[in-house]
Amino acid sequence: MHISLVGFGKMGHVVYRTAIQLGHSIDSIIDPYSDDPLVTSKVLTAESLGSCDLVIEFSHHEGIMDRLEMYQVAKTPSVIATTGWYDKLEEIEEKYSDCEAPIIWSGNFALGVHLFFSIVKEAARLMNNFEEYDAVVQELFHSRKGDSPSGTSYMLGKILTDELSGKDSIITSRLDRKRRDNEIHISSARGGSNPGVHTVIFDSAADSVEITHRARNREGFAKGALRAGEWLLGRQGGIYTINDFMNDIN
């Protein structure tokens, strides 16, 4: 693919290296604030995008509306990995529901995480028939992470409360009481430099079934964005989520 990158920070650099390793070519790099010599323009226009097949953006939520508009003017499919604009999600989904150049967005393009969600969902569906198993979520992250629980843990809690009958409440704080039967407890530990481990445990008196996802580095996000971009090129106009892509390839 011929790719334009919008945003050339930590993730932009990883996408650049990964795309080249995978045999794609980076035609242009647009970032208003970067002085990196690889940046081809500080201004996003149809001309600075050039005649690429695809835009991948890992930038900043400010200006998202203008950038989405520009991708349509340039008739260029776009992978929106930038986060933080979800207060505009409804407006954007409505505006671009039948746009010409397809758009795919996700707050997490690491495909392993989405496979993990599907596996946990299916496991919870099976466990519903065996009431001796009780579910719990544990996560471990590096000491510099600024929040807890992680968005991924919260998603796991949501999958479990949606799928398990009798569970309808997610608890993320320490407990100074017994956990109630309707609750899923998420515990978060912080330390070291671990980029993120999530485990869902289905525990019974006889044994324990544990499903774990371990992140290793940022490459997973880059590879997922590139895979989703390849998929997007064959799609009609409109706005897609990563679930559309995952469901289509499964």
The helix or strand, by DSSP H or E, that contains position 101, with its residue range, turns out to be: none
d(CA 86, CA 68): 14
Query: Looking at 7, 149, 196, 229, which residue binds ligand NAD (CB under 6 A)?
Result: 7
d(CA 10, CA 101): 27
Site for ligand NAD in 93-112 (CB under 6 A): 106-109
Q: Under DSSP, is residue 186 helix (H, G, I), strand (E, B) or coil?
A: strand
**Torsions phi, psi for 212 (to 5 deg):** -125, 140
Query: Looking at 1, 3, 6, 99, which residue binds ligand NAD (CB under 6 A)?
Result: 6
Residue placing its CB nearer to ligand NAD in the complex, 28 or 59: 59
Helix and strand numbers (H, E) in the chain are 8, 11
Continuous H helices in 60-150: 64-73, 89-95, 111-127
Nearest in space to 161 (alpha carbons), one of 193, 129, 120: 120
Q: Cβ(201)–Cβ(210) under 8 Å? A: yes
What DSSP string describes 123-141?
A: HHHHHTT-TT-EEEEEEEE
Q: Per rule CB under 6 A, is residue 213 in the interface with ligand NAD?
A: no
Query: Looking at 34, 41, 150, 199, which residue binds ligand NAD (CB under 6 A)?
Result: 34
Q: Per rule CB under 6 A, is residue 245 in the interface with ligand NAD?
A: no
Residue placing its CB nearer to ligand NAD in the complex, 6 or 49: 6
Residue placing its CB nearer to ligand NAD in the complex, 102 or 224: 224
Q: Per rule CB under 6 A, is residue 48 in the interface with ligand NAD?
A: no
Residue placing its CB nearer to ligand NAD in the complex, 151 or 166: 151
Q: Per rule CB under 6 A, is residue 3 in the interface with ligand NAD?
A: no
Query: Looking at 1, 74, 79, 81, which residue binds ligand NAD (CB under 6 A)?
Result: 81
* Least distance from ligand NAD to the Cβ atom of residue 95, Å: 19
Nearest in space to 152 (alpha carbons), one of 110, 89, 103: 110
Q: Per rule CB under 6 A, is residue 84 in the interface with ligand NAD?
A: yes
Residues in contact with ligand NAD by CB under 6 A are 6-12, 30-34, 58-60, 63, 81-84, 106-109, 221
